[in-house]
Amino acid sequence: MVDDLYQEIIIDHSKHPRNCHAMADANRKAEGYNPLCGDELKLYVKIENDIVKDVSWVGSGCAISTASASLMTESLKGKSRPEALKLLENFHELLTTDTPVTQELGKLVVFCGVRDYPARVKCATLAWHTLKSALMNSGEPVVSTE
């Protein structure tokens, strides 16, 4: 049922998003846009010695994309850059494959319900695509999920 998708923690983070502000001293920034939904997001990352010291975001979107951005920022702080990229990979697997849920994902496992809603995978991954762009410094000003 639909409760599998909209778990309590997702509803909570969509209503009270964490780390939802701009960051003046960020040294990595990226923007994400989902043209199909109109969802948009700006991500701010502060990296020191290859460790994510701080991360924040601003943007607008549906409950899934808002909660995803919020929970992503919570789970990234203190992670090294390779750890963050590994987390991204695990998260993407969680959403798009039937592989068993791994413990490394922590709270992020609440998004496993998205698997059953293929049209909503883009909503959940927008923040993460943007993160990749920020961490890789791919030079693309705006990542798009299309």
Partner 1 sequence: MSAITSVISAAFDVDKIREDFPVLKQRIHGKPLVYLDSAATSQKPFAVIEAIRKFYEVDCANIHRGVHELSQRSTAAYEETRIKAKRFLNARAKNELIFVRGATEGINLVASSWGRKNVKAGDEIVISTLEHHSNIVPWQMLCEEKGARLRVIPVDDRGELLLEEYEKLLGPRTRMVAVGHVSNALGTINPVRQIVEMAHRAGALALIDGAQAAPHMKIDVQALDADFYAFSGHKVIGPTGIGILYGKAKLLNSMPPYQGGGDMIKSVTFEKTVYADLPYKFEAGTPNIAGGIGLGAAFDYVTRLGLDNIAAYEHELLLYGTEALSRIPGLRIIGTAREKAAVLSFVIDGIHPHDIGTVLDRQGIAVRTGHHCAQPVMDRFGVPATTRASLAFYNTFAEIDALAAGLAIVKEIFS
Among residues 14 and 19, whose Cβ is nearest to partner 1? 14
Per the DSSP assignment, residues forming a β-bridge with 46 are 54
Toward partner 1, which CB reaches closer, 3 or 98? 3
CB of 5 to partner 1, least distance (A): 7
What's CA 42's distance to the chain center, in Å? Answer: 11
By the criterion CB under 8 A, which residues form the site for partner 1? 1-3, 5-6, 11, 14-15, 36-39, 60-64, 117, 119-120, 123
The nearest distance, CB 111 to partner 1, in angstroms, is 14
Q: Can you tell me the distance from the alpha carbon of 139 to that of 143, in angstroms, rounded to the nearest whole number?
A: 10
The rounded Cα 87 to chain-centroid distance in angstroms is 10
Cβ pair 93, 112 in contact under 8 A: no
Measured from the CB of residue 50, what is the shortest distance to partner 1 in angstroms? 36
Report which DSSP code applies to 101. Answer: P
Cβ-based nearer residue to partner 1, 15 or 21? 15
Say how far apart CA 90 and CA 47 lie, in whole Å. 21
Output the smallest distance, CB 119 to partner 1, in A.
8
